Structure 1
Amino acid sequence: MKRKQLEELGLEEDQIKKIMDINGSDIEKTKSSNAETAEENEALKAQIAERDKDLKKLKANAKDNEELSNSYKDLQAKYKKDTADLTEKLSQTRLNGALDNALTKAKVRNTKAIRGLLNMDDIKLDDNGKLTGLDDQINSLRKSDGYLFDEGDRQDYKPSNGKPTDADPVQTMVDVFKGESK
């Protein structure tokens, strides 16, 4: 979002400043989230590299020693499980990041509230980083719970600001009961 785009929309300078401040804080949150994920990824890679180095060293020392051989096999099984767990955790982190981005693009008012309504078993992240199974759920929620989405200003909503309307309230109720309401 650029300041010039907001000026073209006819917004005043103080409105533009407030919008840019909000946008800037959102960008900073996303940057910090990405930095945390990258940092965690690097830490996990370092752990795996250290583990592999330990396994090679143990294997070289174990040659004929049965006890060390068994210890090596136990460690290998443990590390295999740890690798699977770390891979699953990394996949879940990627899925959560992609889901948050998709929900933000869908103009969801509260991502935590929407997550409770989503069937997460149906939402998958493919190898290209694209979410599957989310669009249908979002469209369904837009229809059933539209208040959860920021749809901007509605053109057909004209409140009376607490002032009485021109219509006669008694006649309006009579029309409603007869089924002739406007």
Structure 2
Amino acid sequence: MKRDLLKGMNLTDDQIEAIMKANGVDIEAAKSSLGDVDALKQENDTLKEQLTTRDKDMKALKKQVGDNEDLTKQVTDLQAKYDNDTKALSAQLNQTKLTGALNTALSGAKDRNPKTVEALLDMDKIQLEEDGKLTGLDDQLAAIKKDNEYLFDEGANTNYEPGGGNGSNDSDQVQTLVDAFK
């Protein structure tokens, strides 16, 4: 947003400064959420690399085993260990994806303090779908917004219209009342 645009709207310097400050806060919030996305991508790449290395090790070990029973048992034990590790890594990856999607959704809902809003959520009812969408969040957010409006930045209320709300200048209210009763 440029100051010249706001000056063209005949706003005072104080109003322009307030708008620029609010815009700066929004930009910083967006930048911080991008940092979360980069961290998630980094963690995802690391986990994928670990799984690829594990699979290569298993294939190489199976080729070396042949008919030896001790080695077969070791391979079976390692396979069980790797399967457990895969489940743990998958669970960790899913939790990371859920956290990232939740942070993005809360930022989109214009929350003022994500940790406070997240503490009010029932995380057992929130699920991350395959397409990356969260189910069970919208209803909870609506309930939290209803009970705790101060946790969300809804902007300024612009529906205030003084003087009867029709934009006219009711300077002679007595005459208006007399006309209404005639």
Which TM-score tier does this pair reach, normalised by the shorter chain? Answer: 0.7 to 0.9
Q: What pairs with 1:17-36 in structure 2 (closer than 5 Å)?
A: 17-36=20-39
Q: CA deviation at 1:3?
A: 4.0
Q: CA deviation at 1:22?
A: 2.5
Note closer, same or farther for the CA distance 1:95–1:76 as it changes in structure 2 (3 Å cut). same
Match of 1:117 in 2: 120
Note closer, same or farther for the CA distance 1:147–1:64 as it changes in structure 2 (3 Å cut). same
Match of 2:101 in 1: 98
SS at match of 1:48: helix
> Which amino acid letter does the alignment assign opposite residue 28 of structure 2?
S
> Which amino acid letter does the alignment assign opposite residue 138 of structure 2?
D
Q: How does the TM-score come out when normalised to structure 2? A: 0.75
Contact 1:3 1:20 survives alignment (8 Å) = no
**Residue 127 of structure 1 pairs with residue 130 of structure 2:** yes
CA distance in 1, matches of 2:66, 2:27: 59
Q: Identity of paired residues, percent?
A: 42
Match of 1:148 in 2: 151
Match of 2:61 in 1: 58
Q: CA deviation at 1:154?
A: 4.2
Q: How many matched pairs?
A: 156
The answer for unaligned runs of 5 or more in structure 1 is: 158-182
CA distance in 2, matches of 1:125, 1:106: 17
The answer for unaligned runs of 5 or more in structure 2 is: 161-182
CA distance in 1, matches of 2:43, 2:119: 26
Q: CA deviation at 1:126?
A: 0.6
CA distance in 2, matches of 1:148, 1:112: 11
Deviates more, 1:112-121 or 1:24-33: 24-33
Match of 2:75 in 1: 72
Q: CA RMSD for the aligned pairs?
A: 2.6
SS at match of 1:45: helix
Contact 2:61 2:75 survives alignment (8 Å) = yes
Q: CA deviation at 1:96?
A: 1.0
Q: How does the TM-score come out when normalised to structure 1? A: 0.75
Q: Highest relative contact order (Cα 8 Å, sep 6+), 1 or 2? A: 2
Q: CA deviation at 1:17?
A: 4.2
CA distance in 2, matches of 1:27, 1:146: 21
